[in-house]
Structure 1
């Protein structure tokens, strides 16, 4: 932060000894340490307050998105239930998870005859019955 080198620190110690004196230097350093600690606490408190406000804003934004998605899902579900109750099958009422439609007995291809058993032998083209 301040990038104080060894030679600069030595110069500060010499100036402090000359100006303050060796007798009062421990008291001065203790007082300076207390001030630095107070400044750090205030800085950390300020930073944590800002981070809390940011987190709360993000949570409000996410809650808003979740509420919108929930409302959309509830609308779609109500539309699907209404369509199913009316006997209609619009695109919204079809289950998207079904891999293929299930054939019903009323389908046109269900009326085709189904052969059960072995296949009859094939007759050659030139053969007579």
Structure 2
């Protein structure tokens, strides 16, 4: 620690023995050991406090990084939510927007014996019944027609 070898320690012990004498040397050695122990404990305490502070700083930096990434993720989610909301609003406006051209409404007609004969004649290929009424139930909407192409009235 202090880079003191055995010869230097022996020289210090001889000088202390001569200066202090054999009666006071053990007390002085205990006193010196006590101060060395206290200094070492203080040094360890300072070292531990410094390590705790460094660890706390590292935790604060990590927390700040996590907060920043969370804020970025939140901003991204808010942006995506706004896009979804805008898309839903556009879809809603499109659905609720009145059409410029009125749709053709097919009204059901009452079934009469003549209409039943016309439907039978249409199925058999007889073209003479083209001008007769066709029952509503026998009408077929093409598969590619939009769902709201036929509007039914009660």
* TM-score, structure 2 normalization: 0.52
Higher relative contact order (CA closer than 8 Å, sequence separation 6+): 2
CA apart distance, 1:7: 1.3
Residue 79 (structure 2) aligns with: 79
**Residues 11-56 of structure 1, C-alpha deviations (whole Å, 9 max, x = no match):** 1111111111112111111110000111111111112222222222
CA–CA distance in structure 1, aligned partners of residues 47 and 16 of structure 2: 32
Structure 1 runs of 4+ aligned residues shifted over 3 Å read 84-88
C-alpha displacement of 1:85: 4.2
The alignment yields a C-alpha RMSD, in angstroms, of 1.8
Provide the rounded CA distance (Å) in 2 between the counterparts of 1:5 and 1:37. Answer: 20
Alignment correspondent of 1:26: 26
Is 2:98 the counterpart of 1:60?
Answer: no
1:45-99 Cα distance to aligned partner (Å, 9 max, x none) = 11222222222222222211111100100111222233234449xxxxxxxxxxx
Any gaps of 5 or more consecutive residues in structure 2?
89-154
Structure 1 equivalent of residue 13 of structure 2: 13
Report the number of matched residues: 88
Unaligned 5+ runs, structure 1: 89-129
Matched, 1:48 2:16: no
Larger radius of gyration: 2
Mapping 1:99-110, distance limit 5 Å: none
Distance (whole Å) between structure 2 residues aligned to residue 59 and residue 78 of structure 1: 28
Tell me the residue number matched to 1:94.
none
